[in-house]
Structure 1
Amino acid sequence: MCLIVVAWQVHPDYPLAVAANRDEWYARPTAPAAPWSDAPDILAGRDLEAGGTWLGLTRGGRFAAVTNVREGRDAPKGTHSRGSLTSAFLAGDATPEDYLAELADAPFERYSGYNLLVADGDTLGYLSNRDPAGKDGGQGSASRVRLLPPGIYGVSNHLLDTPWPKLTSAKAAFAQALSRLPDLAPCLALLADDEIVPDACLPDTGVGLEWERRLSSVFVRGTAGVAYGTRASTVALCRRDGAVLLHEQAFGPGGAEGPPVILGTF
């Protein structure tokens, strides 16, 4: 998952609203969003290589989503899948604060860089294992756990609300789209924005200029010879009564649309 925008306790009818794009290699096997056969209360897509998910909800409104932190080609790989961070929260009953505090003490090398958002209906929390705010230099300090007040938040492949152009534009469009809910068309439209950012505005994350350009748009459109791009756009809503709605649109190479998945009143 490479871009997530979240409205927390902003909309009068939907205390949690999420719009997100998952960017991934097209060859990585994936199951579309559905209730899991081994955990029927979880509604999520599934990474069939490692078994976790990039974004999911549960009956009653638990939510979790993860993005990677872009660290360059030579960054060490974690020993555990980041998709397990979300699925473990969805399957459990820990509060966001307790869950993230325990994760903050995990060894630095256990996971590649991540941003994690989790909510249980009462609290929205955020943690990154690459946040330098920790008192020990970012390697396992619960001081990096953030419990977020009502507002609109976004994360791409750096830390929460890092003002990369695509995240700034997505948050602004999302703020406008909220007034149209439950109409999902404006949310899906912002996730389809494939405008490439000018070179002068690009970050330098160690992947080279060509890839910085390619990854600079909200929707990453894999072109000929490039086996990577936006695989799914997702809009998820939690109503005040705990019911959830999820709309997922799958994509293949070049942005070709697959069949949509629409699941509501879960």
Structure 2
Amino acid sequence: TTAATAALKTTPSSKLSQLTESLKLEHQLLRVPFEHYKKTIRANHRAVEKEVSSVISSVADVADCNEPSKEDAVLNLTSLVSRLQGLKRKLEEGSRTENLQAQRCRARLDHLESVDAENLSEWNNVRLKRILVDYMLRMSYYDTAMKLAESSNIQDLVDIDVFQEAKKVIDALRNQEVGPALAWCVDNKSRLKKSKSKFEFQLRLQEFIELVRAENHMRAILYARRHLAPWGATHLKELQRVMATLAFRSNTGCAKYKMTAPRRTHCHRTASGSWHCLCHTPSSTTQS
């Protein structure tokens, strides 16, 4: 940033080196909120575009009606007004979310621009608190992390909401609920594909295996045809091995086809890794 660059030019060599190294580590500080800001804008645009298209289609249908009765006309107009009011609420909610994301980006830019030789110690103290909050979040100490962020007034400089969103998905997986994780995969489908993530595939495998464990073989076969077959081109060997579990009971002694907890734990770890990759937060040890 401009202010940071100016500070570097007027800083003694010892502090210059320290300041330069500190700023080199701040890439993620800006990237995480910026990526979320872009994601929010895209999601809002898709939602509004879909709703507007639907409303326009409804208006066209009403216009095509040949001499509708007064009651039908009033009913159609009332329905359209209700949908337009709903669209307005969505626009307002989307705008608030975008403004919050923009505020976070601005706060982090201001934080980086505030660094200079005179306040380097104070700036590093704030940075230390940010690192502590990040560590606590990764170790699942959410309440402590939130209290430290609030007491230090650095809420806009840390990514508590990102980790809380991840926690909901991972907690659901621990409870053998893959719905929230699959919903997240749908929301991030293009980004997961771009990063060549196997997260959705692992979730689908886990759902299939749970059906086999429950000895619900017909449902398992139907599930495989619908959700696993599309992955055949890229994951054929793994699919063949998993499909073979249909021939074994859940308590089989054949280690290769045991349907035990380690696979669920693998899903938790894959979830964490995929989350860090898409959210642009460095991965580290996460509790399983």
Q: Under a length normalisation based on structure 2, what TM-score does the superposition of the two structures give?
A: 0.20
Structure with a larger share of its residues in strand: 1
Structure with a larger share of its residues in helix: 2
Larger radius of gyration: 2
Q: Under a length normalisation based on structure 1, what TM-score does the superposition of the two structures give?
A: 0.22
